[in-house]
Structure 1
């Protein structure tokens, strides 16, 4: 071994020592980043009063879901007992109307009656309660006007859907539940296609997002993930509420990246990019198709139970009101009432499926936008009307999105894993939302 070899070896170890010394501060900062503490700092942006208000809003909503189902069942019973559907059915049959026309007319009358009878409850749940918690910007007149639009849409779409399902029941009496579920899946895909272009503009005004840093950032993220950018729009959601949101909706030529004006005006660029990145995740990961598949499967299970329970309910007394079978147009109150109860029963499964896709979109958005702090702060702004830190079992059963705590924790974990020298951020407190 020569002196040159000794010097080379010494220089090698000196270089290693210098490199380790240079990296030591970075390692120390990364090791010092406490995910739990960083999460707690974000959770603290809501005051105790604001947190109590969001918890009360969410918990109350769970009871309202159950109450809404009970009210729907009771109203269906009232409609059945009054006998208007039977009278209309018999009158149209005596005049020789075709079965599908009779069904369409009876379905329209049923949808109209049920919607009008539900209106007082809807006024409380969807307007008065929202306003009391500070989540409603509309006047009662403005809200009622949009409810009228929604009723018109429901009257048309609901009547057609019920008529199609009735035709399936009559054509395939033994296996209608399976074919009917397929019909539901096809209709879900159809409405996914037309909603962004034809439905949503009925409620809000859409304009192109102005050139600027936010649009530039969105285009860059979309290009990186092969998302069409022909339609990047902002709509005036502030006329309804102060909630922040965005969506990437549509299929094929109707794909549209939509931002609420609240997101544009009430969040920073990192927050807005994080939210849009999440929505891009839904598009890239094909969650619209996942949702349609889940809807189809759940519909099949619910229809299967309906096919077995409805005849028993009819035999127990509905026949006394002139209803002769589940394919009878006048049987709609029985079928819809049972479906309402089954939907509530299946809610934990539906929530779990949706929460899974939301979690996947969260992960995608963090990688796409690389804004963990922006994502965490946006999640806390959403938590002004969502319970922040529920018990695990409550989140598993009743949440269709990850809780605020879960989302912030995952963002901070992503930050620790992907941001060299990650440091904690102490965000400013959020202003309290005052009820009205």
Structure 2
């Protein structure tokens, strides 16, 4: 009876949460353009058609709804696995099937990963179909399924490694396991960060040196002006998957890459592309990649400490109910994952705020480097149109989803920069 009560409460809580998010996004959330912005280049009415305005609002609201209901869905599923005793049954079955403890843990994590993927797949499919319907995605079903499969086979071994190591440390170093775990995550994080551009990213897309050599020469001249050692700019064939645009800097050391999506090359003029590249160079010059990496490591240390406190508190309270035998029981993995996911979600407003600060600084760098605020204005307008983005999203969407300033904020900043350029300097 107690188990059914908790399952019913969890179900009601999830439904109420979903209703709140729906009401907020479609009824209460304010995405209107302030009076002070109307008529300016930051007003979407000046660069989007009435049809584009309607579909961008609809697309953004549905996409945001899917995001906000997907995250707690994992918590809900993991809690049901624990409270129903199904996690215990999977762990016992895995041990009987594999016989050896180490192999049984690999089997358990595989079953858990497969189960969560199957449960989340319908929502991901809806998101994919939504993007196709609104013309944001251009990806074939076969390609989409391939990406989902790649996601699984990249995430599963990482999760299995973390689970086995973490529970082993909990067993052997109960008091300071979180500190030992953090010490191990540092080299692993650095390694993954180093190999991502040359090993992981190419699994999803094809990367090659920029085909337009005249444009590459302009970009490399800009890089030289910024004192950035660069021999190539990379292009990636994202037009096979999306109609949106992007450019980014990734990796560290010799594996650092500046990447342009081919959609960006197709839809932006040369001066706009140079502005975008100057923005990415700003990240490099201001060492945002390294600052972000260091910040992640510091945040992960604090996070592991918090996980330690919360995990053992909840384990003591719910061990009997969840049918957990010991604190390092692999059947407790859903509990650990709930805590990790909740802490990550709770920290996202802070990490997003830091990211938005860095992005604004990179925008300012791009204006100072190119002396072309107008190119910044038109670039952001085209980015908003191609991605059907809300230029002024509701508050909760901004703090939980936006690692960049809103398009309205970015265009307004660029408009001010462009006006400053036109103002004659006093002699």
Q: Which residue of 2 aligns with 1:414?
A: 417
Q: Is the 2:367–2:373 Cα contact (8 Å) retained in structure 1?
A: yes
| d(CA) in 2 for partners of 1:333, 1:277 | 44
Q: Is the 2:64–2:397 Cα contact (8 Å) retained in structure 1?
A: no
Greater mean deviation of Cα atoms: 35-44 or 383-392: 35-44
Q: Which residue of 1 aligns with 2:31?
A: none
**Deviation digits for residues 335-382 of structure 1, max 9, x if unmatched?**
112222222222211211211111122112222233312221121222
Q: Is the 2:245–2:263 Cα contact (8 Å) retained in structure 1?
A: yes
**Counterpart pick for 1:86 among 87, 91, 95:** 91
Q: Is the counterpart of residue 215 in structure 1 residue 216 in structure 2?
A: yes
Q: CA deviation at 1:262?
A: 0.4
Q: Which residue of 2 aligns with 1:109?
A: 111
Q: Is the counterpart of residue 170 in structure 1 residue 171 in structure 2?
A: yes
| d(CA) in 1 for partners of 2:270, 2:183 | 42
**Counterpart pick for 1:47 among 37, 46, 49:** 49
* 3-state SS, counterpart of residue 39 of structure 1: coil
Q: Is the counterpart of residue 345 in structure 1 residue 350 in structure 2?
A: no
Q: Which residue of 2 aligns with 1:389?
A: 392
**Deviation digits for residues 78-131 of structure 1, max 9, x if unmatched?**
4443234321454379x454x5x5544433332233223321222123x12222
| d(CA) in 1 for partners of 2:142, 2:397 | 36
Q: CA deviation at 1:394?
A: 6.2
| d(CA) in 2 for partners of 1:85, 1:408 | 52
In structure 2, the CA distance between the partners of 1:371 and 1:327, relative to structure 1 (3 Å rule), is farther
| d(CA) in 1 for partners of 2:138, 2:333 | 36
1:130-169 aligned at under 5 Å gives the runs 130-169=131-170
In structure 2, the CA distance between the partners of 1:325 and 1:221, relative to structure 1 (3 Å rule), is farther
1:367-386 aligned at under 5 Å gives the runs 367-384=368-385, 385-386=388-389
Q: Number of matched residues? A: 385
| d(CA) in 1 for partners of 2:134, 2:260 | 24
Superposed CA RMSD: 2.9
Normalised to the residue count of structure 1, the TM-score between the two structures is: 0.79
| d(CA) in 2 for partners of 1:56, 1:194 | 38
**Counterpart pick for 1:70 among 64, 72, 76:** 72
Greater RCO, CA 8 A, separation 6+: 1
| d(CA) in 2 for partners of 1:45, 1:335 | 47
1:227-376 aligned at under 5 Å gives the runs 227-376=228-377
| d(CA) in 1 for partners of 2:37, 2:364 | 16
Q: CA deviation at 1:305?
A: 3.0
Q: Return 5+ residue gaps in structure 2 as ranges.
A: 1-35
In structure 2, the CA distance between the partners of 1:195 and 1:62, relative to structure 1 (3 Å rule), is same
Q: CA deviation at 1:325?
A: 4.0
In structure 2, the CA distance between the partners of 1:177 and 1:60, relative to structure 1 (3 Å rule), is farther
In structure 2, the CA distance between the partners of 1:356 and 1:180, relative to structure 1 (3 Å rule), is farther
| d(CA) in 1 for partners of 2:397, 2:265 | 32
| d(CA) in 1 for partners of 2:306, 2:331 | 20
Q: Is the 2:279–2:366 Cα contact (8 Å) retained in structure 1?
A: yes
| d(CA) in 2 for partners of 1:343, 1:163 | 21
| d(CA) in 2 for partners of 1:178, 1:114 | 29
Normalised to the residue count of structure 2, the TM-score between the two structures is: 0.81
Q: CA deviation at 1:199?
A: 0.9
* 3-state SS, counterpart of residue 304 of structure 2: helix
| d(CA) in 1 for partners of 2:186, 2:371 | 35
Q: Which residue of 2 aligns with 1:128?
A: 129
Q: Is the 1:245–1:263 Cα contact (8 Å) retained in structure 2?
A: yes
**Deviation digits for residues 377-398 of structure 1, max 9, x if unmatched?**
1212222332202467864565
| d(CA) in 2 for partners of 1:280, 1:402 | 18
Greater mean deviation of Cα atoms: 261-270 or 286-295: 286-295
**Greater radius of gyration (CA):** 1
* 3-state SS, counterpart of residue 46 of structure 1: coil
In structure 2, the CA distance between the partners of 1:115 and 1:396, relative to structure 1 (3 Å rule), is closer
In structure 2, the CA distance between the partners of 1:185 and 1:159, relative to structure 1 (3 Å rule), is same
In structure 2, the CA distance between the partners of 1:264 and 1:108, relative to structure 1 (3 Å rule), is same
